[in-house]
Amino acid sequence: MTSLDPAAPTAEDEAVGATGAGMLLEVQGLEVTFPTTRGPLKAVDGVSYSIAAGQTLGVVGESGCGKSVAALAILGLLPPPGAVTAGQVLFAGADLVRLDRGALRRLRGDRLAMIFQDPLSALNPVVPIGDQVGETLVIHRQVAPSLARKEAAALLRRVGISDPDRRITEYPHQLSGGMRQRAVIAMAVACRPALLFADEPTTALDVTVQAQILDLLDELRADTGMAMQFISHNLAVVSRLADEVVVMYAGRIVERAPTNELFRHPAHPYTQALIDTVPVKGRRPLGSPPTKLASIPGQVADMRTAGPGCRFAARCPQAAYDCRAAEPPLREAGKNHWVACFRAAT
Amino acid sequence: MNGAALLSVEGLVKHFPVQRSLFRLGRGTVVRAVNGVSFELRTGETLALVGETGCGKTTVARAVAMLYRPTTGRVRFRGQDMTRLRRRGLKAARRHIGLIFQDPLSSLNPRLSVARLIAEPLAIHGIGSSRQRRERAFELAAAVGIAIGDLDRHPHAFSGGQCQRIAIARALASDPALVIADEPVSSLDASIQSQVLNLLIDMKERRGLSYLFITHDIAVADAIADRVAVMYAGRIVEFGGRDEVFHHPVHPYTRALLDAVPQLGGDRGKARSEPTEPPSATSSPSGCPYHPRCPKAQALCKETMPDLTSPGGGGATLAACHFPD
């Protein structure tokens, strides 16, 4: 394998399973650029990772870190004028970045599926639920519409919607938020995808409903053996589903590790700060008055004007001269644990 | 629950008539947003009102500030019954209430400079000269961490976290006794959330404020609250000190809510969630509104609505449940 990004160090290539054995999805040196009036903005800047069949990869980061844009780029759904400016995405032997629109469309909804944050905007308000869920089968499997509707009822039952025979005739506005997201999930898994992209699928839902949807996704993954890329700003939600977690900051991957390892031994100062700063129930001791939380000073730097070094350096308590001079490469901090930081212990 | 009550809400009810729809289907139905809520907020405390979408927490907050007129019930604030006040009396009372909303950008007028935005409540209440108001804006901006040099800029030039700082400065301008904060950190990123929560804690300590803090986020409430009221379907189902409610809940709904909160790290493959649907605001079941979802529900729960009382008597926690833990 050759790296398309000349700046990407070799360690990074190894970090992301560049050996390629058994990897379902391999993202290599992905770079996504949006032209803006104040110069090009690299929303995703040299991101490499891979997902094995049946594995759930969690991607966490704050607004604007590039986690959603990277997924949209992989699916060929980037909103113009955004464009992939470097890198490749290998899936089932093909480079998705170079695939023509028709071939990509045949993959999407079939082998590659996706669900987003807002189920209402993912559903057509004037088409019955059953037809929408069955549509995937009509398009990708050439199933007759009448049969597809029957299959849709079975799919709705599978995702935990009661009375599916009645529900297939209903419209999205007649369903609760949790049920709509279940219907979208039914649509996504209709063709038994090999890989499901879930971008903040529970962010718009209440916690009790969120717990149900997370359980459902994990159950479907276990049953069908599909892999999942689960994107969220919420560390706790990601930790509930993911086998492995990638932490992104300002368009780059700063850390990648198996889930338990990441939360027990976070190596990157940003990951550490993020874990310390997130309000967690029970962190404040019993009997103590409200006391201040740990916090990360400052805010994310403008990626267009950022210097050559680590993007987190300006907010980092451990930053030194070298951090501002050069971008730290991803290097091994433990077994399957990779961190992009000069200061992190390895 | 007596002594220094800054705010006392008694039997608050707020029903919204549903607009007649295009096909007149919704005629005559009512959204029962709040169904008899009573609580007291003591001077100097932070009371968190928690619950899920549609439980009525925001309606309670708005009714306290008289942004909605309650259908029935009383809201006593600093000894006055707010529901009896009209125009001038209400305006005078509102000087002592600061409001902070979820989306800072939409709660700040985009055409006003930050200095004007912060000083506007003072101008509305006719406090000080324009020069004094500007000085006060400087002082407040410094207190919330906005650079004085940025005061002549407009809201769009600031990030979400900074806008929320500006909104906080504005809420504090008229030196209120009570601050009502409705999901003040929910639209902010994790690293900015804790900055803004810290600012709120800091302001409360320095200015002796009291907070009515509305949030759906249990972890945020756990960090900031002295006492907690858990709402479900327009009612308070559990009320008590933060330690008791969040660490020894007695109402089955509180327990389910706490169990659903994902924890950081290590709870992969956690216990199964309850496969039930949230309540509808237009048609509530008979008896306890939680009974269709409740694992402990019995015949009594389907018939009689439980009162908010102290389980076992004597305890500080109140719960509206026939069979509390």
Give the Cα separation of A59 and B114 in Å (integer).
Answer: 36
B191/A62 Cβ within 8 A: yes
Q: What is the average pLDDT across B255-268?
A: 80
Is the predicted pLDDT of residue B143 greater than 70, yes or no?
yes
Q: Answer whether the bond into residue A290 is a cis peptide, omega within 30°.
A: no
Is the predicted pLDDT of residue A193 greater than 80, yes or no?
yes
B190/A290 Cβ within 8 A: no
Provide the angle, in degrees to the nearest 10, between the axes of the packed helices A129-141 and A177-189. 10
Q: Which residues of B touch A177 (CB under 8 A)?
A: 53
Q: What is the average pLDDT across A298-311?
A: 83
Domain ranges (residues) in chain A: 10-111+194-278+294-339, 125-192
List b or e across B225-240, with b for residues whose CB sees 16 or more CB atoms inside 10 angstroms. bbbbbbbbbbbbbbbb
Asked if residue B33 is part of any domain, the answer here is: yes
CA torsion sign for B93, B95, B100, B104 is positive
Looking at domain A10-111+194-278+294-339, what is its CATH homologous superfamily? P-loop containing nucleotide triphosphate hydrolases (3.40.50.300)
Give the Cα separation of A150 and A143 in Å (integer).
Answer: 11
Sheet with B30-42, edge to edge strand ranges: B30-42, B5-17, B72-77, B80-81
For residue A267, give the nearest of A251, A256, A278 by alpha carbon.
Answer: A256
Grade residue A8 by pLDDT with cuts at 50, 70 and 90: very low
Asked if residue B141 is part of any domain, the answer here is: no
- Give the pLDDT of residue A312: 93
User: Which range is least confidently modeled, A67-76, A289-298, B120-129, B205-214?
Assistant: A289-298
SS3 content of chain B, % helix, strand, coil (to 5): 35, 20, 45
- Give the pLDDT of residue B22: 59
CB atoms within 10 A of CB A153: 22
Asked if residue B175 is part of any domain, the answer here is: no
Q: Which residues of B touch A62 (CB under 8 A)?
A: 189-191
ipTM of the complex: 0.82
| Helix or strand run (H / E) with residue A152 | helix A145-158
Grade residue B314 by pLDDT with cuts at 50, 70 and 90: low
- Give the pLDDT of residue B286: 86
User: Which range is least confidently modeled, A28-37, A138-147, A159-168, B263-272?
Assistant: B263-272
Q: Which residues of B touch A206 (CB under 8 A)?
A: 52-53, 216, 278
Is the predicted pLDDT of residue A72 greater than 60, yes or no?
yes
A210/B262 Cβ within 8 A: yes
Q: Determine the distance in angstroms separating the CA of B240 from the nearest CA of chain A, rounded to an integer.
A: 13
Report the alpha-carbon angle A110-A258-A11, nearest 5.
Answer: 90
Give the Cα separation of A310 and A326 in Å (integer).
Answer: 7
Give the Cα separation of B74 and B69 in Å (integer).
Answer: 10
- Give the pLDDT of residue A6: 40
Give chain B's domain count: 1
Give the Cα separation of B97 and B88 in Å (integer).
Answer: 15
How many residues are listed for chain A in this entry?
A: 346
Residue-wise pLDDT for A24-58, tens only, equals 999 999 999 999 888 899 999 999 999 999 999 99
Place of tokens 């907050």: B61
What's chain A's average pLDDT? 89
Give the Cα separation of B107 and A127 in Å (integer).
Answer: 36
3-class DSSP state of A227: strand
Q: What is the average pLDDT across A290-319?
A: 87
Give the Cα separation of B239 and A176 in Å (integer).
Answer: 28
- Give the pLDDT of residue A178: 87
Residue-wise pLDDT for A271-296, tens only, equals 999 999 888 888 888 888 888 888 88
3-class DSSP state of B199: helix
Helices (H), chain B: 57-64, 87-94, 104-107, 114-124, 130-144, 160-172, 190-207, 218-224, 242-247, 252-260, 299-303
Asked if residue B163 is part of any domain, the answer here is: no
Is the predicted pLDDT of residue B215 greater than 90, yes or no?
yes
Asked if residue B238 is part of any domain, the answer here is: yes
Q: What is the average pLDDT across A47-74?
A: 94
Residue B316: domain span: 1-45+59-86+216-260+277-325
Q: Determine the distance in angstroms separating the CA of A274 from the nearest CA of chain B, rounded to an integer.
A: 6
Grade residue A13 by pLDDT with cuts at 50, 70 and 90: very low
Q: What is the average pLDDT across B155-170?
A: 92
CATH assignment at residue B2: 3.40.50.300
- Give the pLDDT of residue B274: 61
